[in-house]
Amino acid sequence: MKSSTPNPLERRVYSEFGVDATQRPATARPEVPPAQQQVKVQASRKGRKGKTVTVISGIQGSEAALAELAKKLKGHCGAGGAVKDGTIEVQGDHCEKVHQYLIGFGYKAKISGG
């Protein structure tokens, strides 16, 4: 005999507009060729307790492609880093290295700031 009590993990408390977040399709970012992307490379210390981080923004593509590019950049610079909110962060001031590496991949990269 099946129990009539619902599973507490499956219980819906509130649903706006009748669509559950787990039922929504994942939004995919369009794949744009590197030559059509305006990529900005800058060194930043803001909000990082004085530590310098190279921030690469403006890259359009899927999360997997962004993570793969981040892995290549971190390996090229010999540093750690992360992918946050559609930007790539590489620990340390590696603006020139990253700029030349991205140009080699065909991106329109530009160094921004100081």
Q: 34-111 has which fold?
A: Translation Initiation Factor Eif1 (3.30.780)
Of 65 and 30, the one with more pLDDT: 65
Closest C-alpha to 108, from 68, 60, 44, 43: 60
Residue 108 has a pLDDT of 94
Closest C-alpha to 54, from 29, 76, 32: 76
Instruction: Return the SS3 of 44.
Output: strand
Q: Domains of the chain: which residue ranges?
A: 34-111
Cα radius of gyration (the chain): 20
Closest C-alpha to 94, from 111, 71, 77: 77
User: Residue 57 in contact with residue 23, Cβ under 8 Å?
Assistant: no
The residue written with tokens 């744009």 in the block is 32
Residue 52 has a pLDDT of 94
pLDDT in tens, 4-63: 665 666 666 666 666 555 665 555 556 788 888 999 999 999 888 889 999 999 999 889
Range 76-88 average pLDDT: 94
